[in-house]
Structure 1
Amino acid sequence: MDGSAKENIQLFSKSSVQSVGGSAFKTGHSSPKEKQPRCCAELKVFLGALSFVYFAKALGEGYLKSTITQIEKRFDISSSLVGLIDGSFEIGNLLVIIFVSYFGAKLHRPKAIGAGCVLMGAGTLLIALPHFIMEPYKYGKLSPSLNASPSVSACVLHAGGQPPAPALPTPQPQTPEGCSGEGSPSAWAYVFLGNLLRGLGETPIQPLGIAYLDDFSGEDDVAFYIGCVQGIAIIGPIFGFLLGSLCAKLYVDVGLVNAEHLAITPADPQWVGAWWLGYLVAGAVSLLAAVPFWCFPKSLPRPTGREDSSSSPEKSQFILDEPGSYQTPHGGKAKMVEMAKDFVPSLKSLLGNPVYVLYVCASTVQFNSLFGMVTYKPKYIEQQYGQTSSRANFVIGLINIPAVALGIFSGGMFMKKFRIGLCGAARLSLASSILGYLLFLSLFALGCEPSAVAGLTVSYRGTRPVTPGRGGLLADCNSRCQCSEAHWEPVCGADGVTYASACLAGCQASRVAGRSLILYNCSCVAASGSGPGNSSGMSGRCQKDNSCSQMFLYFLVISVVSSYTLSLGGIPGYIILLRSIKPQLKSFALGIYTLAVRVLAGIPAPVYFGVLIDSACLQWGVRSCGSRGSCRFYDSGLFRHIYLGLTVTLGSVAIFLSTAVLFVLKKNYISKPSHFTAKSERATASTRFRKERCTPTNHLFQSQYWPGKETEL
């Protein structure tokens, strides 16, 4: 997933809706009673608005993941650079997350969220801008002129021989402007900057939205409602991937080029879909989501049962050291100096909490695994199982992500139904991780045989080289042709072998049949032993065999089950995070947690996953200006071991750290009833808890205390 796991599998907001009516307001005054329905109604509206915001941001994030391969081919860049573009969202988040989470809790939180939505929508629209300033997409078999014939790299013989008619037309070389038009930094930099703006705009949504809901809602059903909201919010990636599947079927220059004159289909590796179209939709949705937040008040009356100071909303008590209302004294605004002077002590208090620190470390490592896995999952399906980009996005959106949503909802439901305590939550989170990654291990056995590509995975006589990529694209059968090894226009020969281009296959004649290009007199196809009269080929790569389609079905089943299993631990883990910290440090702690995930997982994971995936490339494209472009063909076996191996290795480290969380929680951080004085609270800098039995039958929010104050969570 922001599987999924940013699939997508990132944690969204929590919420609960609870009536505030009760005996606490039976005082004879009418005004509090009149405010109760209004408070409840406003909280419900805020809950709906926040859920829609999470849908909007998840829609954009899911669509970005679905267009990774399209962006890579359109801008002719490597996977590592695409990973950097994907990580720019986290970079934008990093720039302001500390300030937003710390100072934003004292400001008008709904309006801060609304401003973030506006910025997020503007950034999403900026991503689509390069399409409108770049030249139309060009490739070997497409002619921009509707009346022109398609052209491919021809086998032009040396002086010693004459090619039979009709000879294939030779494409004109691109001008140097083509280099600056499609692959220059000035083009993909807009995508980078737009995604960075998305990250800036998304920053206040999670820490401020979660804290606002938690402050003004009840506690008893919190885990259940977290599961409900996250289950609703994860509809965003579903629509994002389905939108990506739809746009991938449309040609990139839809509206400018007549689809009937295209010589390729979405199954062709050179096909680029209308990647830009979905960003216009996602940007408009984000702007629409900002509207309601300008109408909400800064704070709401707190519900019955949370009026005591022990469960006070997130206020500046740790800064001002003054109990009372959520507002600062006399209704004045807290000065930045007053808020900033205790920043370091507050940070030290969080870093002195072993449960919090270990949980942040475990989550960071696990999100490294999930971010890398989700980012390149469509690419993995395309390369490993020979599926189109449209179908890869479709199965992820329609099958994988709903399994994640169901897992998140189930985790919250289990927490509520069985009243699982903190240790029970830690056990459930750990068990889900162990089972999920064990299922993921089985995917190593579900790989397909590498595609037979002449000179890369097999020799020109059909035998497989000892080492993929060592054969070379030039051979005796095409030595008389003036071929360039840089051209990648796959041709499927009658022998079932894919050739890098018509020239490298030795093809000297062609005819158009519908939207396909039939090639004849291919000397390399004849040399492979396919027999006389069968030296033909067809534009496009050869399809995988039927056994690979069966493997793909097995992959989908195990992928869905593992996604559900891993998602079961999301809500229990989040409960550990929320209940291991002081309530007044809640927003700050969530900000630090989000910062750690962004900096140590969201930014580096797509980059180093992309770098290692690039190492599996067997054939690189070459831009017209001579620089290296995107990868044309991968060693699928090495790709599989890198992709799955990294995911499982990081998951194993996360399991080890999660075990440490459970151990520390059982040993030191579940407390027995005792009382401390206010004097001891002021004298103690670090958070400490009383010891208490850690059993699965304990109430969800077990009593935890800090020196000098008794606080029930």
Structure 2
Amino acid sequence: MESLVLEKQIEKSDGRPALGLVLIPAAALGQIISGILVSRCKMDCKSIIKFMIGTCSVALLLNTAFLFAKCGNEPFAGVSETYNGTGVPNNLTAPCNANCSCLRSMYYPVCGRDEVQYFSPCFAGCASHLFNNIKKTYHNCSCVGKPKRETGLEDFLYQAAPGKCPTQCKFLSLFLTFFFFAVVFTFMAVTPTTVAILRCVPDKQRSFALGVQSVFLRILGTIPGPILFGVAIDSSCTLWDINECKVKGACLVYDNKRMAYLLMGISTACKIITIIFIVMAACLYKPPPASVALSQKDSAMVSAVHT
């Protein structure tokens, strides 16, 4: 179930190509490594269960490290802070743009020289624009404050430029590193789980056991997973896209810290539940009698000879 959790964490987030390039190889590597270890070490069912407890515990520890690799939101006027000391947060309209008749449905972000992002040039109070070397800049912006860093360069001759402000986050490489190893150890429990089921269940009930596993996987993971993560992601939205008909569309700005806590909380809870059930399996598992184990071994040898 925790493998589905990690897959859903990359949805509706920035940096999808990087996360996708990490997720797929890490998941494949985890399953291959676990299959090789189970085969080479000739683990019995009890050892496989203990191996699953170890991999899930390591994945849980790596999962908590994500909270230290999170990044905050960039300043956004009318969303996370005021307009240069005027207006109030969570309100795009302020005294500096009250007479501009700005449209809430026209989302065209600009970055001011004060390193604050604005919903659109209109909401930034910009009255004119210029084209300089095929670069569009906005001027006479009543809502844009003074630059935070006085450098004396010509970059601050304009008051706003198209696009979002560049992020100051430096934790992407650290996050991807922890994410890679977390995915590896998470998926290292997938292959041993199937092997443990096939070894613990009698021959005539193995197909039924795999079917029950698939049903529980769908009921507890595939079906509620997207719903649960969708609710967590939507609750982290701080600015929604609203069209001319006042219909709410996609989310434009997320609260990164809130999303990090929610997603990591869900992932951690799923991992803890998984570890609890695996520990219960280790405590309740009873090896079959020697005669039964010998007969199973003989039947396996006979089937191998016939194949």
Is the alpha carbon distance of 1:617 and 1:495 closer, same or farther for their aligned partners in structure 2, counting shifts above 3 Å? Answer: same
Task: Return the alpha-carbon distance in structure 1 between the equivalents of residues 196 and 190 of structure 2.
Answer: 10
Aligned to 1:635: 255
Question: Which residue identity does 2:106 align to in structure 1?
Answer: H
Contact 1:525 1:536 in 2 (8 A): yes
Pairwise CA distance, 1:593: 1.8
Aligned to 2:116: 497
TM-score (structure 1 length as normaliser): 0.39
Pairwise CA distance, 1:591: 2.4
| Partner residue of 1:455 out of 71, 75, 78 | 78
Aligned to 1:605: 225
Contact 2:35 2:192 in 1 (8 A): yes
Contact 1:452 1:496 in 2 (8 A): yes
Task: Return the alpha-carbon distance in structure 1 between the equivalents of residues 112 and 229 of structure 2.
Answer: 34
Aligned to 2:304: none
**Secondary structure, in 3 states, of the residue corresponding to 2:144?**
helix
Contact 1:523 1:535 in 2 (8 A): no
Pairwise CA distance, 1:434: 0.5
Query: Is 1:653–2:273 an aligned residue pair?
Result: yes
What are the equivalent positions in structure 2 for 1:85-104 lying under 5 Å apart?
Answer: none
Q: For 1:411-452, what per-residue CA distance to the aligned partner results, in whole angstroms no more than 9, with x for missing partners?
A: 111111111110000010110000111111011011112111
Pairwise CA distance, 1:473: 1.1
Pairwise CA distance, 1:583: 2.3
Contact 1:407 1:568 in 2 (8 A): yes
Contact 1:370 1:647 in 2 (8 A): no
Contact 1:478 1:503 in 2 (8 A): yes
Query: Is 1:422–2:45 an aligned residue pair?
Result: yes
Query: Is 1:577–2:197 an aligned residue pair?
Result: yes
Is the alpha carbon distance of 1:529 and 1:424 closer, same or farther for their aligned partners in structure 2, counting shifts above 3 Å? Answer: closer
Is the alpha carbon distance of 1:575 and 1:483 closer, same or farther for their aligned partners in structure 2, counting shifts above 3 Å? Answer: same
Question: 5+ residue gaps in structure 2?
Answer: 151-155, 302-307
Q: For 1:564-584, what per-residue CA distance to the aligned partner results, in whole angstroms no more than 9, with x for missing partners?
A: 122222221111122222323
What are the equivalent positions in structure 2 for 1:557-706 lying under 5 Å apart?
Answer: 557-665=177-285, 669-674=286-291, 703=294
**Secondary structure, in 3 states, of the residue corresponding to 2:106?**
coil
Question: Which residue identity does 1:411 align to in structure 2?
Answer: S
Contact 1:494 1:530 in 2 (8 A): no
Q: For 1:628-674, what per-residue CA distance to the aligned partner results, in whole angstroms no more than 9, with x for missing partners?
A: 10111111111111111111111111111111011111xxx312224
| Partner residue of 1:437 out of 60, 64, 70 | 60
**Secondary structure, in 3 states, of the residue corresponding to 1:518?**
strand
Is the alpha carbon distance of 1:621 and 1:704 closer, same or farther for their aligned partners in structure 2, counting shifts above 3 Å? Answer: farther
Is the alpha carbon distance of 1:509 and 1:567 closer, same or farther for their aligned partners in structure 2, counting shifts above 3 Å? Answer: same
**Secondary structure, in 3 states, of the residue corresponding to 1:476?**
coil
Aligned to 1:480: 99
Task: Return the alpha-carbon distance in structure 1 between the equivalents of residues 64 and 34 of structure 2.
Answer: 23
Is the alpha carbon distance of 1:429 and 1:506 closer, same or farther for their aligned partners in structure 2, counting shifts above 3 Å? Answer: same
More contact order relative to length (CA 8 Å, sep ≥ 6): 2
**Secondary structure, in 3 states, of the residue corresponding to 2:249?**
strand
Larger radius of gyration: 1
Contact 1:444 1:640 in 2 (8 A): yes
Contact 1:454 1:462 in 2 (8 A): no
What are the equivalent positions in structure 2 for 1:273-672 lying under 5 Å apart?
Answer: 367=1, 369-380=2-13, 382=14, 387=15, 392-393=16-17, 395-461=18-84, 470-513=89-132, 516-526=135-145, 534=157, 536-545=159-168, 548=169, 550-665=170-285, 669-672=286-289
Is the alpha carbon distance of 1:627 and 1:616 closer, same or farther for their aligned partners in structure 2, counting shifts above 3 Å? Answer: same
Task: Return the alpha-carbon distance in structure 1 between the equivalents of residues 277 and 294 of structure 2.
Answer: 25
Aligned to 1:147: none
Pairwise CA distance, 1:462: 6.5
What are the equivalent positions in structure 2 for 1:149-160 lying under 5 Å apart?
Answer: none
Is the alpha carbon distance of 1:607 and 1:515 closer, same or farther for their aligned partners in structure 2, counting shifts above 3 Å? Answer: farther
Is the alpha carbon distance of 1:457 and 1:704 closer, same or farther for their aligned partners in structure 2, counting shifts above 3 Å? Answer: farther
Pairwise CA distance, 1:616: 1.0
Task: Return the alpha-carbon distance in structure 1 between the equivalents of residues 111 and 269 of structure 2.
Answer: 37
Contact 1:671 1:704 in 2 (8 A): no
Instruction: Choose between structure 1 and 2: higher strand proportion.
Output: 2
Question: Which residue identity does 1:576 align to in structure 2?
Answer: A
Task: Return the alpha-carbon distance in structure 2 between the equivalents of residues 484 and 500 of structure 1.
Answer: 10
Is the alpha carbon distance of 1:574 and 1:514 closer, same or farther for their aligned partners in structure 2, counting shifts above 3 Å? Answer: farther
Task: Return the alpha-carbon distance in structure 2 between the equivalents of residues 586 and 598 of structure 1.
Answer: 19
Task: Return the alpha-carbon distance in structure 2 between the equivalents of residues 403 and 573 of structure 1.
Answer: 18
Q: For 1:206-248, what per-residue CA distance to the aligned partner results, in whole angstroms no more than 9, with x for missing partners?
A: xxxxxxxxxxxxxxxxxxxxxxxxxxxxxxxxxxxxxxxxxxx
Contact 1:498 1:541 in 2 (8 A): yes
Question: Which residue identity does 2:78 align to in structure 1?
Answer: G
Question: 5+ residue gaps in structure 1?
Answer: 1-366, 675-689, 691-701
Pairwise CA distance, 1:517: 3.1
Is the alpha carbon distance of 1:490 and 1:606 closer, same or farther for their aligned partners in structure 2, counting shifts above 3 Å? Answer: same
TM-score (structure 2 length as normaliser): 0.87
Q: For 1:532-551, what per-residue CA distance to the aligned partner results, in whole angstroms no more than 9, with x for missing partners?
A: x8561111110111xx1x31
Task: Return the alpha-carbon distance in structure 1 between the equivalents of residues 24 and 158 of structure 2.
Answer: 45
What are the equivalent positions in structure 2 for 1:208-247 lying under 5 Å apart?
Answer: none
RMSD: 2.7
Pairwise CA distance, 1:497: 0.3
Q: For 1:94-114, what per-residue CA distance to the aligned partner results, in whole angstroms no more than 9, with x for missing partners?
A: xxxxxxxxxxxxxxxxxxxxx
Contact 2:114 2:146 in 1 (8 A): no
Aligned to 1:261: none
Matched residue pairs, number? Answer: 295
Percentage identity across paired residues of the two chains: 25
What are the equivalent positions in structure 2 for 1:112-261 lying under 5 Å apart?
Answer: none
Task: Return the alpha-carbon distance in structure 2 between the equivalents of residues 408 and 427 of structure 1.
Answer: 16
Contact 2:75 2:81 in 1 (8 A): yes
**Secondary structure, in 3 states, of the residue corresponding to 1:555?**
helix
Q: For 1:95-145, what per-residue CA distance to the aligned partner results, in whole angstroms no more than 9, with x for missing partners?
A: xxxxxxxxxxxxxxxxxxxxxxxxxxxxxxxxxxxxxxxxxxxxxxxxxxx
Is the alpha carbon distance of 1:491 and 1:663 closer, same or farther for their aligned partners in structure 2, counting shifts above 3 Å? Answer: same
